[in-house]
Amino acid sequence: MVALTARGLASALGSWRVESAPAYLALADRVRLLVLDGRLALGTRLPAERELAAQLGVSRTTVTAAYAQLREGGYLESVRGSGSAVRLPNRVDAEAPPIETDLIDLSKATLPAVPQVADAAMRAAALLPSFLTDSGFDTVGQRVLRQALADRFTARGLPTDPDEILVTTGAQSAIALIARTLLSRGDRVLVESPTYPHAMEALRQAGGRLVPVPVTTDDGWDEAGLEQALQRTSPALAYLQPDQHNPTGRSMEPGLRARLVAMAARQGTVLVVDETMGELGFDLGPGRPVTPFGVHGDVVTVGSVGKTLWGGLRIGWIRADRELIQRLARARFGSDLGTPILEQLIVRELLPDYDRILVERRELLRAGRDHLRGLLAARIPDWHAPEPAGGLTLWVELGAPVSSQVALAARSEGVVIAAGPRFGMDGVFERFLRIPFSHPVAVLDEAVDGLAAAWARVSRHPVDIGIEDLAAVV
């Protein structure tokens, strides 16, 4: 069981006080949001009441009442002598509220499956009998798929051999495998801020100490910050999303890519480039493939079809030199024993039509972006919604450090959305909210209605920010 210190919980809580609510309720609500957002893992042991009260500068009675509120709601379980551990309400608990199934889920930036998946699955199933004599434990990837992926990298300008490809069960599995293989406990890891939350989790679980470097919707990457972070910390690894960055939607300009590869090489830092959304730029037309980051030098590339074809196809890949691919394949046995054969065959069947599918996806996403920006301008004009040139999300600036409060209020309006701090470290990004535009128009309409109602409620009772909270304001 992981034990969270009082200081650690206080940092995660950020600016939790609400002027209109009793302190114990505000504290309980913020802890509950951390649990629902996934920022507090299930089973985490919370600090003792006296220690947390001293850290937060409140009475022990306030913390005791907050913990009691969480226990009553099913979010905390206390065992004598073992402290209080995080949990989720269970439907079998007689007094727990029923699990809600009619919520609009904006916490995931995803698209529904392309229509071609069903037909591709039928064709792949017809091919499956020829593979049934093998063991089925495929830790490297089927040659036919690795060849197709290598051919695609080559066509995009980066000559690639099938032996430089490792097929994984999605991009998250690839990131976790790279982290476990290349990191030792205590190694520093450069990450963008904000960034993809599950990548941060995988890097931390492998023992990495994260070094954040800013990325903004207006200015993109802080080149001076990147150079200073590399020089001062000599990170073992850097995790980047240079195309359609999640959540800002920014893309890195080519000159910076080349300079960054050179900077990393001087420091001995392995660049891990996540291209999961790399081909979802709106200005990319037929015959205009995205140039891989790897053309600028030696990098490790991660990709998947989860954001383009369907999240239900758990197929990702790693492109790296042969030696590292072999090392990753050997290390993989500690976590999983291979990628499903049928899903690999389905993706292989879809790749010949991939460019046309991407054009259709881009058109759909561009329309979704424009529709969502129009809705926000009309319904919540206080918010500033950027106009990204690709990706699946808007990184919306709220004008006040109340993202967690809005996320919590939105749940009461039937909308699940991740608060801004989910994408950063130490409680930052309370001024931001990531809103996907990948959902159907009718869903976006209803979702913005819920967000507008949540914003109206939060606006009537603004958060009281003191000097001690300024570090959490971005």
Q: What is the pLDDT of residue 40?
A: 81
User: Which whole number is the average pLDDT over 28-53?
Assistant: 85
Of the candidates 251, 232, 238, 364, the residue with the CA atom closest to the CA atom of residue 302 = 238
Q: What is the pLDDT of residue 99?
A: 43
Domain ranges of the chain: 6-86, 104-112+356-472, 116-353
- Do residues 395 and 387 lie in contact, with contact meaning Cβ atoms separated by under 8 Å? no
Q: What is the pLDDT of residue 462?
A: 54
pTM recorded for the entire structure = 0.81
425: left (phi over 0), alpha (psi -120 to 50) or beta: beta
- Do residues 220 and 193 lie in contact, with contact meaning Cβ atoms separated by under 8 Å? no
State pLDDT tens for residues 317-349.
999 999 999 999 999 998 899 999 999 999 999
User: Which whole number is the average pLDDT over 140-147?
Assistant: 97
Q: pLDDT exceeding 90 applies to what percent of the chain?
A: 76
Domain 116-353 belongs in CATH node 3.40.640.10 = yes
| pLDDT for 100 beyond 60 | no
State pLDDT tens for residues 214-260.
999 999 999 999 999 999 999 999 999 999 999 999 999 999 999 99
Give the chain's mean pLDDT: 90
Fold classification of 104-112+356-472 is Aspartate Aminotransferase, domain 1 (3.90.1150)
Which amino acid belongs to residue 156? R
| pLDDT band, residue 21 (cuts 50/70/90) | confident
Q: CA-CA distance, 33 to 52, in Å (whole number)?
A: 18
For the ranges 24-33, 132-141, 264-273, 286-295, the lowest mean pLDDT is seen at 286-295
User: 249 Cβ partners below 8 Å, 6+ apart?
Assistant: 217, 386, 388, 389, 390, 391, 393, 394, 395
Q: What is the pLDDT of residue 356?
A: 94
State pLDDT tens for residues 145-185.
999 999 999 999 999 999 999 999 999 999 999 999 999 99
State pLDDT tens for residues 352-400.
999 999 999 999 999 999 999 999 999 999 999 999 999 999 999 999 9
Which amino acid belongs to residue 469? D
**Which of 68-82, 121-135, 452-466 ranks highest by mean pLDDT?**
121-135
| pLDDT for 20 beyond 80 | no
| pLDDT for 461 beyond 70 | no
What CATH code would you report for 6-86? 1.10.10.10
How far, rounded to the nearest angstrom, does the alpha carbon of residue 147 sit from its chain's CA centroid? 29
User: 152 Cβ partners below 8 Å, 6+ apart?
Assistant: 351, 354
CB atoms within 10 A of CB 287: 6
State pLDDT tens for residues 54-76.
999 999 999 999 999 999 888 89
